[in-house]
A and B are shown apart, each in its own frame.
Chain A
Amino acid sequence: MPVVRIDEAFDALPLGQLTAAALERAAALGAGHAEVRVERIRTQALSLRDGQVEHASDDVELGVGLRVLHDGSVGFAATVELAGDAAAALADRAVEAARLAARAGSRRVELAGEAAHGTHTWVAPYGRDATAVPLAERVALLAGWSDRLASTAPVEHVTATLLAVSEQKHFADLAGTVTTQQRVRLQPIVEILALDGDGRLETMRTLAPPAARGYEYLEGDGWDFAGELAAMPELLAEKLRAPSVVPGAYDLVIDPTNLWLTIHESVGHATELDRALGYEAAYAGTSFATFDQLGSLRYGSELMQVTGDRTTPYGLATVAYDDEGVEAQSFDLVRDGTLVGYQLDRSIAAEAGLGRSNGCAYAASPLLVPIQRMANVSLQPAPGGPGLEALCDGVEDGLYVVGDKSWSIDMQRHNFQFTGQRFFRIERGRLAGQVRDVAYQARTTDFWGALDGVGGPQTYLLAGAFNCGKGQPGQVAPVGHGSPIARFRQVRVLNTRAEAGR
Chain B
Amino acid sequence: MSAETGPLPAAEELVERALRAAGGDRCLVLVEDGSSAELRYANNTTTTNGQRRDRRVSVARVVPSAGGLAVGTASASGAAVAVEELVAAAEADARAAPPAEDAAPLLEGPALLDFGEPAVRTELAAFAPLADALAAAFEAARRRGDVLAGFATHEVTTTYLASSTGLRRRHVDATGTFELAARSADGATAWAGRSLGSMEEVDVAAVAARLSQRLAWSGRRIELPAGRYEVILPPDAVADLVIPLAEAASGRDAEDGWNVFSSPSGGTRLGERLVETPFDLRSDPNEDGLECIPFLATAASDADVSVFDNGAPLGATRWIDGGRLSRLRYHRAGAARAGTAFTPPVDNLVLALDGASAGLDELVAGTRRGLLLTCLWYLREVDVSTLLLTGLTRDGVYLVEDGEVVGAVNNFRFNESPLDVLGRAVEVGRTERALSREWGEWMRRSAMPSLRVAEFNMSSVSPAS
Which residues of A line the B interface, CB within 8 A?
Answer: 9, 12-14, 40, 45, 49, 52-63, 65, 67, 73-83, 86, 93-94, 96-97, 100-107, 134-136, 139, 156-157, 193, 195, 198-201, 203, 277-283, 285, 288, 367-369, 371, 406-415, 417, 419, 437, 439, 441, 443, 471-474, 492, 494, 496-497, 499-502
Contact = CB atoms under 8 A, between A and B. Distances in A.
A379 B360 CA distance: 47
A102 B303 CA distance: 47
Contacts of A94: 50
Given A57-B73, A75-B50, 15 more contacts: A9-B1, A40-B80, A53-B98, A55-B302, A60-B76, A63-B77, A76-B49, A80-B77, A103-B128, A105-B46, A200-B264, A203-B384, A282-B150, A417-B415, A500-B388
Sorted from nearest, which 5 A-B pairs have the closest CB atoms? A80-B78, A76-B50, A199-B264, A62-B80, A412-B464
Contacts of B44: 106
B75 A82 contact: no
B357 interface: no
Interface in B29-45: 36, 38-45
B23 interface: no
Interface string B67-111: 000001111111111000000010001001110110000000000
A201 B73 contact: no
Nearest to A499: B415
24 contacts: A54-B303, A56-B73, A61-B76, A62-B80, A81-B53, A96-B125, A103-B132, A136-B93, A136-B96, A193-B258, A281-B181, A369-B48, A406-B380, A406-B381, A410-B392, A412-B465, A415-B460, A472-B40, A474-B441, A496-B383, A500-B382, A500-B386, A500-B415, A500-B417
Contact of A441 (B40, B41, B79, B459): B459
Contacts of B41: 104
Contacts of A492: 460
Interface stretch (B4-12, B13-21, B277-285): B4-12
B390 interface: yes
Interface string B369-388: 00000000111111111101
A123 to B, nearest CB: 18
B131 interface: yes
Nearest to A502: B386
Contact of B441 (A103, A277, A473): A473
B42 A280 contact: yes
B74 A58 contact: yes
Nearest to A351: B43
Contact of B5 (A14, A419, A502): A14
Considering residues A199, A282, A406, A412, which has the most beta carbons from chain B within 10 angstroms of its beta carbon? Answer: A282
A240 to B, nearest CB: 13
Contact of B257 (A45, A103, A195): A195
A408 B378 contact: yes
Contact of A496 (B52, B138, B256, B415): B415
Contacts of B46: 73, 101-105
A47 to B, nearest CB: 8
Contact of A78 (B50, B183, B417): B50
A282 B55 contact: no
A106 B378 contact: no
Nearest to B139: A106
Contacts of B78: 62-63, 79-82
Contact of A473 (B53, B97, B153): B153
A277 B76 contact: no
B269 interface: no
Considering residues A9, A54, A58, which has the most beta carbons from chain B within 10 angstroms of its beta carbon? Answer: A58
A110 B413 CA distance: 38
Nearest to B136: A104
B444 interface: no
B342 interface: no
Considering residues B52, B258, B457, which has the most beta carbons from chain A within 10 angstroms of its beta carbon? Answer: B52
Nearest to A444: B463
A198 B54 CA distance: 51
A57 B300 contact: yes
Contacts of B131: 100-101, 103-104
B383 A497 contact: yes
A410 B459 CA distance: 13
B45 A78 contact: no
A325 B49 CA distance: 20
B461 A415 contact: yes
Contact of B385 (A201, A417, A471): A201
B3 interface: yes
A105 B45 contact: yes
Contact of B463 (A73, A283, A412): A412
Given A100-B131, A472-B40, A410 B464 contact: yes
B124 interface: yes
A410 B411 contact: yes
